[in-house]
Amino acid sequence: MRVQIKKQELESLTDGALLNACFKPLILEYKKRVSKQAENSSSVKEIFYQELTTGQKAMFVFRVYYDHAIESEREFYWWTSYYMAQPKIWSSIKVGVQHFQDESMFLLLEELEAVLRKNKCPHTLDHFTISREDLDSNQELTASITPLYSRFCIIAPTTNKKICHFIRSNSEDFLTLEMMNN
């Protein structure tokens, strides 16, 4: 599932455009497959994920998490809890960050995990009762999440830069380069 792109175009893309060029076709394909197989979407998701290269897996899971978590403190809290209740996904996010050698983001995710575990974040989606409104009723939780979200907002742009650097250095994991005809 590599993206086809002209070599000259690759060289001219900004980091944001490169990340979108590599991510957008994957997320569209993912959504298309899941929508066709609503009754057994977990197996469809696993098959899709297994078809990705190691670099694509790392980029995909972080980007899905990032796109949700960056929206607000409440989204950061809820989506992190949701993914932590799915240990395979949460582990993949952390492994993906390590793949891009982003120690700062990895340590933040570890700290966030510890805070949420202390606050009884579920280990499965069975009886998942985490609510975005939990932050309104639990001052201690909010006091822990607020600085973590602030750090996430500061660190995430560097994580995205590291991902883009990795894509440029390992383009064969993400892209099929087309040569321009003269």
Q: Is pLDDT of 12 > 60? A: yes
Look at residue 148 in the predicted model and tell me its pLDDT.
98
> Residue 86 region, left (φ>0) first, then alpha (ψ -120 to 50), else beta?
beta
Q: What confidence category does residue 26 fall into, taking pLDDT thresholds of 50, 70 and 90? A: very high
Q: Is pLDDT of 111 > 80? A: yes
The string of DSSP codes covering 9-44 is HHHH--HHHHHHHHHHHHHHHHHHHHHHTGGGHHHH
For the stretch 66-69, contacts whose Cβ atoms lie closer than 8 Å and that sit 24 or more positions apart, written own/partner, are: 66/156, 66/159, 66/160, 69/152
Q: Is pLDDT of 76 > 60? A: yes
Q: Which CATH number covers residue 103?
A: 1.20.1420.60
Tell me how crowded residue 153 is: count the other CB atoms within 10 A of its CB.
13
What span, in angstroms and rounded, lies between the C-alpha atoms of 28 and 171? 20
Average pLDDT estimate for 92-120: 96
Q: Are 89 and 96 in contact (CB under 8 A)?
A: no
**Domain ranges, residue 106:** 3-178
> By percentage, how much of the chain surpasses pLDDT 70?
96
Average pLDDT estimate for 54-77: 96
| More confident call, 6 vs 169 | 169
Look at residue 1 in the predicted model and tell me its pLDDT.
76
What span, in angstroms and rounded, lies between the C-alpha atoms of 98 and 54? 12
Provide φ and ψ at 123, rounded to 5°.
-90, -5
pLDDT, one tens digit per residue, over 44-60 is: 888 889 999 999 999 99
Q: Is pLDDT of 178 > 70? A: yes
Q: Are 180 and 5 in contact (CB under 8 A)?
A: no
> What is the greatest pairwise CA distance in the chain?
65
Residue with tokens 């909010």: 142
pLDDT, one tens digit per residue, over 118-146 is: 998 899 999 899 999 999 999 999 999 99
| More confident call, 38 vs 146 | 146
Look at residue 34 in the predicted model and tell me its pLDDT.
83
Average pLDDT estimate for 47-76: 95
> By percentage, how much of the chain surpasses pLDDT 90?
72
The string of DSSP codes covering 89-143 is HHHHHHHHHHHTT-HHHHHHHHHHHHHHHHTT--SSSTT----TTHHHH-HHHHH
Look at residue 6 in the predicted model and tell me its pLDDT.
76
Look at residue 180 in the predicted model and tell me its pLDDT.
60
What span, in angstroms and rounded, lies between the C-alpha atoms of 13 and 72? 28
Q: Is pLDDT of 166 > 90? A: yes
Number of domains in the chain: 1
